Amino acid sequence: MPHADTLTVVHHDDTRTRYTDVRYQLHRDGIRIWSEEGEHAFTDILMTHAYRQREAKAS
């Protein structure tokens, strides 16, 4: 299950829902998100933006 430091869900009506430090699962019917506030499920998504910050590798 992917982890995102920042996840933005864009809905069909152009509203946006933002989460930080979440796990998520994309599926045919939408997206399921697990955050500190609990579990969320959306079916009206247009797109998602997920960002994960990674530590730089030492050269």
Vertex 1: Cα angle to 39 and 6 (nearest 5): 65
Tens-digit pLDDT profile for residues 30-43 = 999 999 999 999 99
Strands 16-27, 38-42: pairing kind: unpaired
**Residues 30-56: b if buried by 16+ CB within 10 A, e if exposed:** ebebeeeeeeeeeeeeeebebeeeeee
pLDDT at 58 over 70: no
Quick one: pLDDT band at residue 56, thresholds 50, 70, 90? very low
The DSSP call for residue 43 is S
How far apart are alpha carbons 30 and 59 in whole angstroms? 40
Domains and CATH numbers, the chain: 3-51 (2.30.30)
Tens-digit pLDDT profile for residues 2-52 = 999 999 999 999 999 999 999 999 999 999 999 999 999 999 999 999 999
